[in-house]
Structure 1
Amino acid sequence: MSERDWTADTVAALRSHVDGVAPVRSLPSPYFTVDIRAVDESGFPAGIKYRAVRDLFARDVVSGAITEGTSLVEASGSATALAAAHFARMLKLPLTVVLPARTSPAQLARLEAYGAVCRKAERPAAMYEEARVLAEETGAHYLDYLGRAADAVDWRGNGLAVALAADDPQWIVVGVGSGVTSTTVARHLRHVGNRTTRVAVVDAENSAYFPGWAAGVTDYGTGTPSKIPGIGRPRMEPGFHGSLVDMVIPVPDGASVAAMRWCREASGVAVGPSTGANLWGVWELARIMRRDGVRGRITTVFADAGEQYADTFHDPSWVAERGFEVEPYAAKIAGLYAP
């Protein structure tokens, strides 16, 4: 097969994935004046990261950075790595994932089932440099999702952004990990001329985004990794553009877990803790809207599937052993929905 034929076939195959709109679910609201909706991306492999990683692969194929047989390297222990492994297997390309040493055995098994080679970095902050050096030494292509995905995603017609912006909600709430989702949504709103919908992002404990955004410091760092997969970073990543978002909401880790559990009971959909953080942010904004006498809708996203956390965040013993304080926040949620 010629290089042009491989490129054309590969781009067509990538475009055939997740071009549709995910289901939109209506969630119970604690206030009759506030409607709550969620775009459910949890059914996609790797959840919310799937579309963005697909776009990154497509861009690199079109540019010639990825060709038939190209070896790939990525630095991630989260859903980004799963999405990269999915597309690498689809394109029959070898992939090495550099990830934190504390990555769970179940996550390692999932990545290896896709055919990825896993390489542990003892210090999470060093894994990006380790991945870059590995790619240089082996002649592989470094995907660098955190550094490049925000500019690879097509914010004009991105399926998630279109779904979140439908019917002009008062607020859109998403998590901030790489910053790609919030940047994509905010750019889409500006592109379509939306004048009213605001974007809020939720951040985890020990993460750099909330203090950096509040202080107006774009390179803020804490040096401490997040305990909530998919959101929070020890440094502010280049994909996050604080000037494009209207609010950053810090969410306690225990609240993320409590809201994750509530979601399964209320909607029947098992999600991960980053989706729990989204819901906690939704409730914070709903309270403000009620206080200010504002009626309207808040739209968020089910960002991750609960199945991948069955042996971790959905296991009460695992959660307790790691010191997450869940019960005070579960009580607050129960109070919100008390008759």
Structure 2
Amino acid sequence: MSTVADRRTWTTWALSRLDAEATRCGETPLLQFPLPVDWGIDLYLKDESKQPTGSLKHRLARALFMYALCNGRLEPGRRVIEASSGSTAVSEAYFAQLLGLPFVAVMPRGTSRAKIDRIVAYGGTCHLVDDPRTIYAESERLALETGGLYLDQFTYAERASDWTGPLNIAAGVLDQLSKERHPVPRWVSIGAGTGGTSATFGRYLRLAGYDTAVCVADPEGSAYACAWETGDLTTTATGSRIEGIGRPRVEASFIPELVDSVVRVPDGASIAAMRFLSVQLGQPVGGSTGTALWAALEKITAMRAAEERGSVVAIICDAGDRYLDTYYNDAWVASQGIDLAPYTGRLSEFATPARG
């Protein structure tokens, strides 16, 4: 576009497209997991797999595009670039296509084939790297060389995500719980990738005056648990095998002051819980959902021991069909040296259906 007025006109049009898309989507379901009634504890699952692009990252992608537009960083034809393990890139490819913008996802080579195929289906391009730690620098390089915009979810997630308005995920959950027997949850369990969702919940719960604690479920190989426990935000780690959550470094969007607890979750527990929940719900869920569920069940166990009643919420981050070749594949699990047996036995305690 040749003039400021033309760019403003396009930005107004683009924002209206995003607003219309959000209005069409509506709110995702809040499912109840069947715990025994006499426990006095209710477990709910916010099903973000029902977003148009199939994951919690749909909210983040929309927010990042709106943030870039409102800051004057996007214009017609400008290439959009993102560093991602997959789900954010899928959602961003969708929004880039909606706005007629070219999109490139910089991802680890081990990203699931299903995610890569979805990105391509939305018109995006995948730029794969061998070392997951290089996705940041490679995204910056591509943006510089092509004149593109690196959206940088890991820096901007917490500031781009709306946490005051009625459409944020925390407000949605609290509204959906309003008619339940324990309308104010004791815990919300979230797997942290960027840290944007834990920041949204932490801020909104304070704003609304709710006495609800935020638990971050952290998988093996992630830096967040150690950093939160020690206060050292320069902590690094090897990186997570659970796609979408856990990071080899503490990302700028992770705000430790908004987190009340961090539960370390072994990969075997994440995958066993993912499979367990898929059977209980009759729908496949992803690995990060298993991580969040395991942490939620740890909190429920502690509540029962303390004879505490209340509700707990965990997030279904995405559907399991993206992981049929990995987390649902016994041969792949065995090749990774992951043993599910110790965790499968513990999960059986929660398999009793509710009565009454």
Structure-2-length-normalised TM-score: 0.90
For 2:98 and 2:338, the matched residues in 1 are separated by 37
Whether the 8 Å CA contact 1:164–1:172 is kept in 2: the answer is no
Q: Which runs of 5+ in 1 are unaligned?
A: none
Alignment partner, residue 267 of structure 2: 253
Whether the 8 Å CA contact 1:174–1:278 is kept in 2: the answer is yes
Whether the 8 Å CA contact 2:273–2:294 is kept in 1: the answer is yes
Residue-by-residue CA offset, 1:73-114 (whole Å, 9 max, x unaligned): 111122111111111111111111111122233332222222
Give the CA deviation at 1:42. Answer: 0.7
Residue-by-residue CA offset, 1:23-61 (whole Å, 9 max, x unaligned): 110102266221111111111114111101101101111
Give the CA deviation at 1:338. Answer: 5.9
Of 245, 255, 275, the match for 1:241: 255
For 2:215 and 2:160, the matched residues in 1 are separated by 22
Alignment partner, residue 50 of structure 2: 43
Moved more, 244-253 or 120-129: 120-129
Of 200, 208, 218, the match for 1:184: 200
For 1:139 and 1:52, the matched residues in 2 are separated by 23
Give the CA deviation at 1:242. Answer: 0.7
Whether the 8 Å CA contact 1:170–1:198 is kept in 2: the answer is yes
Alignment partner, residue 94 of structure 1: 102
Give the CA deviation at 1:336. Answer: 4.0
Q: Secondary structure at the match of 2:21?
A: coil
Residue-by-residue CA offset, 1:293-336 (whole Å, 9 max, x unaligned): 11000011111111111222222222222222112211111144
Of 137, 144, 149, the match for 2:152: 144
Question: Aligned-pair RMSD on alpha carbons?
Answer: 1.7
CA spacing shift, 1:319–1:18, aligned 2, 3 Å: farther
Alignment partner, residue 288 of structure 2: 274
Moved over 4 A (4+): none
Alignment partner, residue 179 of structure 2: none
For 2:93 and 2:102, the matched residues in 1 are separated by 9
Q: Secondary structure at the match of 1:14?
A: helix
Identity %: 39
Alignment partner, residue 30 of structure 2: 24
Alignment partner, residue 312 of structure 1: 326
Moved more, 260-269 or 197-206: 260-269
For 1:72 and 1:221, the matched residues in 2 are separated by 28
Q: Secondary structure at the match of 2:104?
A: strand
Whether the 8 Å CA contact 1:270–1:306 is kept in 2: the answer is yes
Does residue 79 of the first structure (1) align with residue 93 of the second (2)? no
Whether the 8 Å CA contact 1:198–1:246 is kept in 2: the answer is yes
For 2:54 and 2:254, the matched residues in 1 are separated by 20
Of 169, 180, 200, the match for 2:215: 200
Structure-1-length-normalised TM-score: 0.95
Alignment partner, residue 233 of structure 2: 218
Report the residue type matching 1:68 in the other structure.
P
Give the CA deviation at 1:119. Answer: 1.3
Q: Secondary structure at the match of 2:189?
A: strand
- The number of aligned residues is 337
Whether the 8 Å CA contact 1:155–1:187 is kept in 2: the answer is yes
Of 163, 173, 187, the match for 2:189: 173
Whether the 8 Å CA contact 1:164–1:300 is kept in 2: the answer is no
Report the residue type matching 2:31 in the other structure.
R
For 1:13 and 1:258, the matched residues in 2 are separated by 40
Moved more, 121-130 or 202-211: 121-130
For 1:320 and 1:252, the matched residues in 2 are separated by 15
